[in-house]
Structure 1
Amino acid sequence: MATWEDLLAFVRTEYQLASGTVEDGETEYRIIEDNDDEVRILVEYDDNRSQIVIVYHEQLDGHEDWVQVISVCGRASDVDLQRLLEELGQTSVVCGAVIIGEHVVLRHSLPLVNLDINEFTDPLNFVAETADHLEALFFRNDDY
């Protein structure tokens, strides 16, 4: 996989079949929004929790194509950020936490050139699972 268009084609095929979902064990994935630079995937777990993951096209320095895998945990003002970062440090090696606007967001970025599909699908799953874990632990609600 080498281009954003290639990744989009994979995501559209893998996560938006005729039934609207793809089952991976205990998890279902469904595209809920799709445009040229961003795809939103709803990840639903058997425990009735869910997480939205945003797959976003980014160009570094106007010429290097990257993909960002993003998931919101909750509002930054509603959490002890030190405790959240300590938990993230103990539970994940894949993503980092940032504040975008009012929200704590987990983000993982990957260059598209020479990207293997497992380098995308595994981080997507890890970002979703980690964001859902942090949301449940620190925010209690399932808002994102």
Structure 2
Amino acid sequence: MASWDDLVSYVRVRYEIMRSTDTELWFNLPTTGERTQLVVVRSITGADGEPGAQIASPVGKLTDLDLPHLLAAAGEQAVGGVVAQDGVVVFRHAIPLHEGELAAFDGPFQHVVHVADELEELLTGGDEH
């Protein structure tokens, strides 16, 4: 199994990390045009006890969003889902960390970033997150 430290080493050479702690990595990534998207990757332990990573990106304030529209739009995605955390709706997905397969992180990471950005633009018209 790959460890959290292995993932941190992998992303450090591929992405600019905005902030980091022992269990979190924060990024502010360009998406389309002048848009950017905040994304947080957290170290988690899966149900099987194995290491994993949760990738989360904010969509908007819970009180500002049309929830039926949000749920319908998020429901069109094959993986990931929306949750409310501290009054903010985030789109998130979790993946296991498999040794030698850290390159498999990029697809889910980019998916979360782009879906959250699309949802934010669709539902708020803005680019605050």
Q: TM-score, normalised by structure 1?
A: 0.81
Aligned AA for 1:4?
A: W
Task: Name the structure 2 match of 1:44.
Answer: 30
Counterpart-to-counterpart distance in 1, 2:101 and 2:2: 9
Consecutive unaligned residues in structure 1, runs of 5 or more: 16-29
Residue 139 of structure 1 and its aligned partner are, at CA, apart by 1.2
Structure 2 match to 1:59: 45
Deviations 1:62-111 (A, max 9, x none): x4322100100001111111111111122x21211111110111110112
The aligned counterpart of 1:85 is 71
2:117 is the alignment partner of 1:117? no
Q: Which has the higher contact order (CA 8 A, sep 6+)?
A: 2
Distance 2:89 2:114 in 1: 15
- Counterpart in the other structure of 2:89: 104
Aligned residues: 129
Give the fraction of aligned pairs with identical amino acids, expressed as a percent.
34
- Superposition deviation, residue 45 in structure 1: 2.8
- The answer (yes or no) to whether the contact 2:31–2:114 under 8 Å persists in 1 is no
> Are 1:13 and 2:13 matched, yes or no?
yes
Contact 1:94 1:127 in 2 (8 A): no
**Hey, which bits of structure 1, 4+ residues long, moved more than 4 A?**
none
For 1:80, the aligned partner's letter is D
TM-fit CA distance, 1:34: 1.7
Given that 2:46 and 2:96 are in contact with CA atoms closer than 8 Å, whether structure 1 keeps it comes out as: no
Aligned-CA RMSD value: 1.9
Within 1, Cα distance between the matches of 2:34 and 2:96? 33
Q: Note the C-alpha offset of 1:115.
A: 6.7
> What is residue 21 of structure 1 aligned with on the other side?
none
- Counterpart in 2 of 1:35? 21
Is contact 1:2-1:113 (8 Å) kept? yes
- Offset at 1:124? 0.6
| SS of residue in 2 equivalent to 1:31 | coil
Structure 2: runs of 5 or more not aligned: none
